Structure 1
Amino acid sequence: MLSPVVAGIDGSAESLAAAAWAAREAERRDRPLHLVHAWDWHPRRQEGEIAGAAQRHLARRSLHRAEQRVRAECPGVPLSDEQTEGPATAALLKAADEAELMVLGSRGLSGFTGFLVGSVALGVVAKATCPVVLVRADEEAADEHLPAADGGASTDSGYRDVVLAVDLDEACDEVIEFAFEAARLRHARLRAVHAWHTAPPVGLGPGDIGLVKETWQGEEWLGFLKAVLQVWRDKYPDVEVLETVVDDRPTTALVRASTGAGLLVVGHRLAERPVGPRTGPVTHAAIHHVGCPVAVVPHL
């Protein structure tokens, strides 16, 4: 059985947009779609049965609304759903273990909504073993596509760029492959971005070698980036690739590069941390500041 695309549902506008995006992605990947609603509650004993029934009713209503949205956009996608009681993070991570990818709703700088609040969302992104895509409430099918000839929204035009954040100190095959495959599925251009810093000209003592000129550094980084991606160009010959290196902070460079993109792909190293799950600064900035859907791809 094919692994499904999974969407976390909580009845919010963000999760409905996530369900619709997940349906389109399932259609592109020829995968089934599985909707998951989870809740974590602790009613007083005398109210347990009534509260439980209310929670199940809300879950069913949320799933029904999501199913209606999915059927309206992608009526042919095989669809299943699940509602479960217990810690939301654990439920979503369990679903992620069997998933092709997980899709969640995001509110960006305002945090996450519904059951995707704080540590729950962070726990899913930080610990999921499959890629996690975060989608904003206002995301529509036309937002994945280039504008029509008259400048209006369209779902018949070509797809917007897929942007890949590449850390050349830690270039990971899982992250690069996900981005190339996403571009291939969309017949979209892949824009690979690496940000580098110009070292300040201080601390050079007698006999030290001076800094290479900034332009030369940029050319060297660009050559390195092209070399890293060459094997993937060969594997995906139909994907148009544009390599870009910029002298800027990685977080700033990614936010700027993602403007007008259809999808941003970033990597996340899986690790157990003593103070709980965390994401790195680049992933954190992407989640909170980038307007397009963000795919966080785990790697070891």
Structure 2
Amino acid sequence: MKRTLVVGVDGSAESRAAADWAAQEAVRRDMHVHVVHAWQWKPLAVPVVQDRGAEARRAQEILEETEAELIRRHPRLSLSAEVVPDVPVPALLRAAKDAEMLVLGSRGHGAVAGFLLGSYGQQLIASAECPVVSVRVRRGRPVSGAGEGEVVVGQQGGVEESAEVLRFAFETAAARKVPLRAVRAWSLPPVYGYSPGSLWIADQFGGLEPFEKAALEQALEPWRLRHPEVEVVAHAEQGSAGHVLLSAASDAQLLVVGRRVRESALGARVGSVAHAVLHHAACPVAVVPHH
């Protein structure tokens, strides 16, 4: 059975761009695409004439139009589709529970929106158990991230902490046959944040910059061995993680970042770095959950 990639659609330009990106990625990776349109009848509490039958037919038409377009553009694609009688967030989370990836549409330089109105997009990105890719439309046209650019991945923490993020990035670069740029951003700690132990460790590497570069290389080493076909550029730079990643990914095909899975009284969160790049990156962004 093929691995599955789930994409949410609603007939908008944003969701069409997401569906086409998902189809291209599925063909590259020999995956199955499952298209989901979430629709639930909700009578409005205002004096407006509503036709439940017409709305249900339109929901089915959106799905059929999407299927037909994807088959026309990608004849080898393995494809299924369904209308799910629920609101978008729970419907897509259930559909993507065992998926390799969830793909969503978003608008250009702004909040995750498109068919995901209000906070739906951020809820999905913050709660999904699989990587979520945000594909955008800017100035009315899809920004697909296709071409000759690199895949860029943000690396932070130690070897185990960044393993899932790097796995996704290396597999993506290998499927696309393009270089991978691994970026580690670092900042000088506040003077009161120094400790004799941390300073001793940094001193063994000749200072903080060599220490950060060594930490990046250590995290990359097992994945270089697993994917010797992927050309890797290691990039450690002092600065805000969001700014450093956005600069490095200015011509990228895809930007991959992590989202730490945390239990919180305030609910699931996207994270500040993921939030920044989702709003401002010029290419599709993949957010990979990790512990």
Report the TM-score when normalising by structure 1.
Answer: 0.85
CA distance in 2, matches of 1:13, 1:164: 27
Matches within 5 A, 1:263-278: 263-278=254-269
The answer to which of 105-114 and 176-185 deviates more is: 105-114
The 1:195–1:112 alpha-carbon spacing in structure 2 relative to 1, beyond 3 Å, is closer
1:122-154 per-position Cα deviation (integer Å, ceiling 9, x unaligned): 22111111111100123356x4112xxxxxxxx
CA contact (8 A) 2:143 2:284 kept: no
Partner residue, 2:182: 192
Among all aligned residue pairs of Structure 1 and Structure 2, give the percentage whose two residues are the same amino acid.
41
Q: Structure 1 residue runs of 4+, over 6 Å off?
A: 209-212
Partner residue, 1:168: 157
CA distance in 2, matches of 1:198, 1:22: 39
Deviation at 1:111, TM superposition (A): 2.6
Deviation at 1:85, TM superposition (A): 1.8
CA distance in 1, matches of 2:107, 2:130: 21
CA contact (8 A) 2:151 2:173 kept: yes
Matches within 5 A, 1:184-263: 184-199=174-189, 216-263=207-254
Deviation at 1:109, TM superposition (A): 4.1
**Amino acid in the other structure paired with 1:177:** R
CA contact (8 A) 2:15 2:115 kept: no
Unaligned runs of 5+ in 2: none
The answer to which of 77-86 and 32-41 deviates more is: 32-41
**Amino acid in the other structure paired with 2:147:** H
Partner residue, 1:155: none
CA distance in 1, matches of 2:193, 2:130: 44
Partner residue, 1:3: 3
CA distance in 1, matches of 2:28, 2:169: 14
The 1:38–1:259 alpha-carbon spacing in structure 2 relative to 1, beyond 3 Å, is same
CA contact (8 A) 1:168 1:194 kept: no
**Amino acid in the other structure paired with 1:181:** E
CA distance in 1, matches of 2:232, 2:192: 37
Partner residue, 1:294: 285
The 1:271–1:94 alpha-carbon spacing in structure 2 relative to 1, beyond 3 Å, is same
Deviation at 1:201, TM superposition (A): 5.8
CA contact (8 A) 1:255 1:289 kept: yes
Partner residue, 1:74: 74
CA contact (8 A) 2:109 2:281 kept: no
The 1:273–1:117 alpha-carbon spacing in structure 2 relative to 1, beyond 3 Å, is farther
Report the TM-score when normalising by structure 2.
Answer: 0.87
SS of 1:98's partner is: coil
CA contact (8 A) 2:107 2:114 kept: no
Partner residue, 2:123: 123
**Amino acid in the other structure paired with 1:195:** A
SS of 1:97's partner is: coil
1:18-46 per-position Cα deviation (integer Å, ceiling 9, x unaligned): 0000001110111111110002442169x
**Amino acid in the other structure paired with 1:197:** S
SS of 1:245's partner is: strand
1:145 to 141, 144, 147: 147
CA distance in 2, matches of 1:203, 1:297: 29
Partner residue, 2:27: 27
SS of 1:105's partner is: strand
The answer to which of 221-230 and 87-96 deviates more is: 221-230
Aligned length: 282
CA distance in 1, matches of 2:12, 2:175: 28
Unaligned runs of 5+ in 1: 147-159
SS of 2:61's partner is: helix
1:231-257 per-position Cα deviation (integer Å, ceiling 9, x unaligned): 111111111111001111001111111
1:220-276 per-position Cα deviation (integer Å, ceiling 9, x unaligned): 211221122111111111111110011110011111111000011111122343233
1:182 to 167, 172, 195: 172
Q: Does residue 285 in structure 1 map to residue 287 in structure 2?
A: no
The answer to which of 17-26 and 110-119 deviates more is: 110-119
CA contact (8 A) 1:192 1:241 kept: yes
CA distance in 1, matches of 2:276, 2:108: 9
CA distance in 2, matches of 1:198, 1:64: 54
Report the aligned-residue RMSD: 2.8
